[in-house]
Amino acid sequence: MRIVLWIRNFFYQLCLISIVILILALSRSLLPTLSGIEDIFPSNISRHFNAAEFNSWRIQRANFTLEHISKSFNLTNEDNQVISIIIIASGREGYFLTQVIAAFIEILQTSNLYASISICNVSTVENEEIDRLSHIVPIIKPIKQFAYNFNKYEERLMKESNDYWFCMNATHNSRYTLLIEDDALPVPAFDLLMRSVVDRMDNDQRLDFIKLYHPGHLRKIPYYFQVSIICLLISLLLTFAIWRHIAWLPLLLTFAFFVYHFDVYYTYQFFADIRYALTGSIYIAMSESCCTPAVIYRTSKIPKMLDYFTMRAFTNRSAKDDILDEAPFISRLTDTNLVIHIGYISAIRRRAVTLDVLKQLRYRSQHTFPF
């Protein structure tokens, strides 16, 4: 009799789990997402998630946008700027810069950010892509180039850091300076999200800079805490509803399943989308180590930062993001990415790399919903 009761209760619990899964799936489909992944990596472009195929499609789209730009692109007078957007162009192959420029032009033409955009050209050789874009976007270039031994990994790191500090110094009269690497594509909701970031920095004068990107697989502790709490509450409710007490085996099995289910199909982005839908504002968390594809700086603090960074750049051959993480300045990190990293060719490592977003898409494709 007890075995029959257990089988019946397990069946009822499976039914409740199925209902919760359907509710979650419906919520996800109705909730607008900020990730922009489907816009930048559409599922119909490459069934095998090939980075080069996605890149070719985006290049065609970017060239179509730029063909309709007939004159030099400048959004606002220097005196009225809120943000100076500076794109650091290293001259890498892949035409990523073309895509970034086209995306920003599309976004900022209808934006109320009062932003200007320019290219900081740190390429050591003439580059056809940068030359072509110079007819559309203003170019900033170092007067003097230092000599580096590009056969040494440490020297390539040092050049990248020094280039970054130079571009940071190429500021105007804006309140904020946004440094974007040439393979960081803004998400479609960039305008709304950036206005939220600016409001946050306006309201908290202590903040020196905010990172606008962090790889999904590195968003560990905050995400694990959130998903653990949610999955534990769901598991407790379902178990108690069926068994009328805490039955440990059903509880643990239900908890493990929902943690796995969230990790495959929802990730940290689900929680970021919910917060934005409820508050209309981006959430700013404690800054985590790694990665500078997009960082917004308070322009008034840049001279002090440069004194610190440049002094260490010539003596410390660490990566620029490590130097930034160790700096005594107050930083934060957005809970959703405002850009997507599309550069599958690393200039530092001199080899192809697997993009974080493609890792997510491939991981999800290996599973059959809801498992």
We report the CATH number of the domain holding residue 318 as 3.90.550.10
The answer to the question of residue 253 being in a domain is: no
Report yes or no on 64 lying in a domain: yes
Peptide bond into 370 cis (omega under 30): yes
Question: What is the amino acid identity at position 272?
Answer: A
Q: How many CB atoms lie within 10 A of CB 163?
A: 23
End-to-end CA distance of the chain: 32
Q: Considering the domain boundaries, does residue 265 fall inside one?
A: no
Number of separate domains in the chain: 1
Q: CB-side exposure of 268: number of CA atoms within 13 Å?
A: 20
In a domain, 122, yes or no: yes
- H helix intervals, the chain: 2-30, 37-40, 51-67, 96-108, 128-133, 153-169, 190-203, 221-243, 248-265, 267-279, 302-313, 320-326, 356-365
Four-CA torsion 151, 154, 156, 161, nearest 10 degrees: -170
Domain with 146, as residue range(s), is: 37-218+288-365
**CA angle at residue 322 from 318 to 326, to 5 degrees?**
115
Return d(Cα 163, Cα 124) in angstroms, integer. 11
What is residue 136's three-state secondary structure?
coil
Looking at the domain assignment, is residue 173 inside a domain? Answer: yes
Alpha-carbon gap, residue 309 to 126, rounded angstroms: 28
Q: Kindly state whether residue 230 falls inside one of the protein's structural domains.
A: no
Give the type of residue at 105.
I
Which pLDDT score, from 0 to 100, does residue 155 have? Answer: 77
> Quick one: pLDDT at residue 252?
92
Residue 300 lies in a domain: yes
Would you state the pLDDT for residue 72? 55
- CA torsion through residues 359, 365, 367, 371, sign: positive
**Residue 344 in tokens:** 């599958």
pLDDT of residue 210: 96
In whole angstroms, what separates CA 38 from the centre of its chain? 14
Radius of gyration over every alpha carbon of the chain, rounded to an integer in angstroms: 23
Return the DSSP state at 176: E
Q: What angle do CA 135, 141, 147 make, to 5 degrees?
A: 140
The single residue listed with the structure tokens 């400048």 is: 74
Residue 216, SS3? helix
User: 282 in a domain, yes or no?
Assistant: no
Please report how many Cα atoms fall inside a 13 Å half-sphere around the Cα of residue 261, on the Cβ side: 21
Query: SS3 of 294, please?
Result: strand
| CA distances, 63 to each of 32, 55, 177, 343 (Å) | 28, 12, 27, 18
Which token pair is 93? 């192959």
Local confidence pLDDT in tens for the 371 residues of the chain: 678 888 888 889 899 999 999 999 999 999 999 999 999 999 888 878 889 999 999 999 999 999 887 555 555 555 567 899 999 998 888 999 999 999 999 998 888 888 889 999 998 888 999 999 998 999 988 766 666 766 777 778 788 888 888 898 886 678 999 999 999 999 999 999 999 999 999 999 999 999 999 988 888 777 888 899 999 999 999 998 888 887 888 899 999 999 999 988 888 899 999 999 999 999 998 888 888 999 999 999 999 998 888 776 555 567 788 888 888 999 999 999 999 999 988 777 777 788 889 888 888 888 877 76
